[in-house]
Amino acid sequence: MTNLKMIGAVLALSACTSEVSEESQQVGAQESPLAAEAPKRVIVNFKAGANKANVLRELKGKELLAIHGMNASAMELPAQALAALDKNPAVEFWEEDAPRKMLAQSTPFGIDMVQAPLVWPSATGANRKICIIDSGLYTAHEDHQSGKAITGYPTGWNADKCHHGTHVAGTIAAVNNSVGVVGVLPNGVNLHIIKVFGDDCAWTYSSTLADAANRCVSAGANVISMSLGGATKSKTEETAFNNAWSAGLISVAAAGNDGTNRLSYPASYANVISVGAVDSTKTIATFSQFNSAVDVSAPGVGVQSTVGALDLNTLVVGGTTYSGGYVDGAARSAGVTGTLVNGGLCDSVGAWAGKVVLCQRGTIAFVDKVNNVKAGGGVAAALYNNVAGGFAGTLGDGVTSTIPAISLSLEDGNAIIAAGGIGQAATAASSFTEPASGYDFYDGTSMATPHVSAVAALVWSYNTSWTNARVRKALEMTAEDRGTAGRDNYYGYGIVRAKNALDYAIANP
């Protein structure tokens, strides 16, 4: 018998980024559950005809999950019982039940970048089903009310306290109506939601993910979308995705947000498409993991999509309202008013008593900018981007501020200055209502992943008799080459392009 336990870092998806490195924010909580002397969570794969109940009784264990479609279970066992697993004649192999976390960051720019509108006259995705494995979906959202059938598992799949799964679903399928945003597939793709993250948004496990993948197959899905990952490989999990591929599905997963060459799973399995993230200039994101497993890349910086909460962050200057994003950790306020001053980069403390301070992103971390504004007597900080578009910001894990801070796009920051807003009265407001139909900008390979999942379904819907191999090859062979000529470890084959992929699939059987 083979002991496949892989002790290592966990890791995964972050919904937003800050000037603080992603990797530094993930230290500590990533230790493998097998490293402690508490009961151990493992996956046990049984031989045909084995009596699981006897094994549990002998080892004084507890079954946590019988993995759908496999003769395997997630179990909690006493630490001293692990050695006995290697000798148990009923056990094929066992391994760590590796944690999996969320990777976690108008027409959003990514929709045009992946050429989705160019394909809509030919294919809509209405005959395809995408299985989203994530934190659920707020199905009452105004942008998820028509044009698609939505099913899910388990009970509670139709709620989403984390908002991550709802954001992913919006990129895939936000409907083409008079409000909000539009997705890659706004005209009727079917969704099946598997909720693997609870309301605490903490990690899930490889056993749960294997179970979810098998349930996607059973639900008749064509594409599996996973904006999640972890550093530890799982044979059980890999088998589930190999089986999904053999059943004709395409599985897509986030490459990871560490900004390193570390492999992430399930993205790095051969039968899963690994996705890196690019910004609006088609440049690879600094947080996007780069390695030999990266297949393609897609928009993953400043991606606007649906969330299950109304997060209103505004700056009113000279009668004009500028809408932005919440800087995580900052105070909420119904509105604070003061004269607007230009703090530049806000990399030092100014004489800002009673002022609302406009700061440009760059040079120092968001938390340092906000602290400088507060130290100078400022009543609110408005941080505008240093590249095109909006952004999601954070003061850091567990860090808070007593003054409100909001994020604005580069365009809005420049417009405020050009319109003579400096020196005028300005009101900054930040409020949060949940549940509600809202929209937000997230960064992460998590945000790139649904672009690719949706493009795969869009291309495939033109001809449902095509194989998963044909569609995957079309995506890879027609991706817009970026970085080093040919495939490289950052962009993979390049940025996915729906129209080019469809033309290739038609011409190359």
Number of neighbours of residue 326 by Cβ within 10 angstroms: 23
Which one from 134, 279, 295, 443 is the annotated catalytic residue?
134
Number of neighbours of residue 467 by Cβ within 10 angstroms: 12
Residue 331 is which amino acid?
A
Which one from 144, 163, 164, 192 is the annotated catalytic residue?
164
- Greatest Cα pair distance in the chain: 79
Report the C-alpha gap between 439 and 482 in whole angstroms: 30
Quote the tokens at residue 330: 């900052």
315 DSSP β-pair partners = 322, 428
Is the Cβ–Cβ distance between 116 and 105 less than 8 Å?
Answer: no
Report the C-alpha gap between 86 and 55 in whole angstroms: 12
Going by C-alpha positions, the residue among 105, 206, 113 that lies closest to residue 480 is 113
Tell me the chain's radius of gyration from C-alpha atoms: 24
Burial of residue 65 (number of CB atoms within 10 Å: 0-12, 13-18, 19+): middle
Which one from 251, 264, 401, 446 is the annotated catalytic residue?
446
Quick one: which H or E segment has residue 212?
helix 206-218
Is the Cβ–Cβ distance between 215 and 68 less than 8 Å?
Answer: yes
Report the C-alpha gap between 397 and 27 in whole angstroms: 11
Quote the tokens at residue 348: 């030092």
Residue 134 a catalytic site member: yes
Q: Would you name the residues annotated as active-site residues?
A: 134, 164, 446
